[in-house]
Amino acid sequence: MRRQAFIGVLGLCLTRLCLAQESAIAPIAPGTPAASHSVVVRARALIDGTSAQPRANQEILISGDRITAVYAAGTRPPPPGAEVLDLGSATVLPGLIDCHTHIFLQGEVPAAGGYDIQLLKFPASYRAARAVVAVRRALEQGFTTIRDVETEGAGYGDVGIRQAIDEGYIPGPRMFVSTRAISTTGGYNLEGYAPEIVVPKGAQLIDGPVEARKAAREQLDHGADWIKVYMTHRSWVDEQGALVSQPTLTVEELKAIVDETHGWRKKVACHAYNGIGLQRALDGGCDSIEHGLELTDAQIAQMVKQGTWLVPTLAVYYYDHDPPDTPTGKRDRKRVEVHGISFQKALRAGVRIAFGTDVGGFVWTDPIAQEFARMVEFGMTPMQAIQSATSRAAELLGERGRLGVVAPGAYADLIAVASDPLADVNALKNVAFVMKNGVVVRSALASAGK
């Protein structure tokens, strides 16, 4: 079986774990080693995802796809037959988690046709092929888990990509998917075409609580792990210079979705910039606010009280600003201006913040980890930013203790970086070693392995 046939593309294969065993007809293996197989990873510095400080000279014992023990290096002999991976002077961390991705988007670069061309001119197969590349890029960059928050007109494509990864046909992170997303009439692209022409929409549009609940049921039925709702859509700057966002669903519509989704023991992520739509998102019981560009003090207090998560996606708003003297240019700049302040206030107030980037909204060739530096710029310590992408993100996903930590019982998802990310968080842009489910999928560390 070709367990990791892509390894040659990603980097050196340094361990027998990822040795390709060629077979003419077998699919790539599920990427999960035999439960009896043991690996010891030696870490000069370990950031475990929850501790306030890194731990020096640790060994991580892995059996199959799980971490079974973490202890001071040299205090236990490796189990008989165990692989030993000495990662030299690198810093080891849990696999990273991006809670806001779009694998079916390829940036919205105006010169490349922007958003619309992706729905109007790209065949579904082409979009799926590029999504396969996107998930590989995420994994290569150390993101071993993603929450993909809708396919932008590509239907249930994310469900199939998730399955292909889980079955080992393609490399990629473990995925939490939200399928089509939900908005209202007038609440999502494509728009601006002649009324006589029917164009595809990037989300499932509903009007009324009955349609809202039905859409949630359909999406859950077809494999959604999360439901994504757009609670605001268009935005602009008004005469007073304030950012205004068009609200979409009513509280009643949203409540129908939240009630249905929570009944399935799943959660609802709400895109919301500010104003009426954001207030409805909170009053309707959203589990996570995506973007949250402009949160009032009262809204922040409500988020703290309700335990609502914020997934800020700071970096994406620095892309592709229109000229400053145009309405959209003014809006682009205003969004950035209010976003940082909002993030700082939420952070100070103790809002639960999880790492998310909106990658796909920017191209997959750019570093996903650029978001860390923005979080630090607006007040997080590097350790807080790292935890937002590890243990905190895992909490948002309902995977506390299983993902985002290097601790017994967790999945063996590890990364390593050559320089200290606590000194410069941009070190996370250069992830040199990635293990998912106990299988090495990338290793470019000169001193790694044996």
**Residue ranges that bind Zn ion, judged by CB under 5 A:** 358
Q: Which two tokens stand for residue 303?
A: 């988020």
Least CB distance to Zn ion at residue 363 (A): 14
Based on CB atoms, which residue is closest to Zn ion, 225 or 358?
358
Interstrand relation of 38-46 and 83-86 (parallel, antiparallel or unpaired) = parallel
User: Among candidates 318, 291, 411, 428, which has minimal Cα distance to 373?
Assistant: 428
By beta-carbon proximity to Zn ion, the closer residue of 116 and 358 is 358
Closer residue to Zn ion in complex, CB, 99/415? 99
Q: Least CB distance from residue 324 to Zn ion, whole Å? A: 24
Distance of closest approach, residue 358 Cβ to Zn ion, in angstroms: 4
Task: Answer yes or no: are the C-beta atoms of 18 and 11 closer than 8 Å.
Answer: no
Residue 294 · residue 272 · CB < 8 Å: no
Q: What minimum distance in Å lies between the beta carbon of 105 and Zn ion?
A: 8
Cα–Cα distance between 153 and 299 in angstroms, integer?
A: 31
d(CA 418, CA 84): 19
What's the closest the beta carbon of residue 231 comes to Zn ion, in angstroms? 13
Contacts of 163 (CB under 8 A, 6+ apart): none
Q: Which amino acid is at 154?
A: A
Q: Hey, is 447 helix, strand or coil? A: coil
Q: Give whichever of 93 and 295 is closer to Zn ion, judged by the CB atom.
A: 295
Shortest CB 265 distance to Zn ion, Å:
24
**Residue closest to Zn ion when measured from CB atoms:** 358
DSSP 358-406: -BTTB-TTS-TTHHHHHHHHTT--HHHHHHHTTHHHHHHTT-BTTBS--
**CB of residue 316 vs Zn ion: minimum separation in angstroms?**
8
Q: Which C-beta is closer to Zn ion: that of 98 or that of 358?
A: 358
Residue 289 Cβ vs Zn ion, minimum distance, rounded to whole Å: 12
Classify 18 as helix, strand or coil: helix
Based on CB atoms, which residue is closest to Zn ion, 104 or 378?
A: 104
Work out how close the CB of 416 gets to Zn ion at its nearest, in angstroms, rounded to a whole number. 29
Please report how close the Cβ of residue 34 comes to Zn ion at its closest, in angstroms: 38
What values do phi and psi take at 256, rounded to 5?
Answer: -65, -40
Contact by Cβ (8 Å): 94, 388: no
Strand 96-101 and strand 143-148: the pairing is parallel
H or E element, residue 169: none
Nearer to Zn ion, 54 or 202 (CB): 202
Assign 221 to helix, strand or coil.
Answer: helix
Q: Would you say 59 or 358 has its CB closer to Zn ion? A: 358
> With respect to Zn ion, which residue has the nearer C-beta, 294 or 358?
358
The type of residue at 300 is I
User: Closer to Zn ion at the Cβ: 260 or 358?
Assistant: 358
Q: Which SS3 state, helix, strand or coil, does residue 335 take? A: helix
Q: Burial, 53: exposed, middle or buried (Cβ in 10 Å; 0-12, 13-18, 19+)?
A: exposed
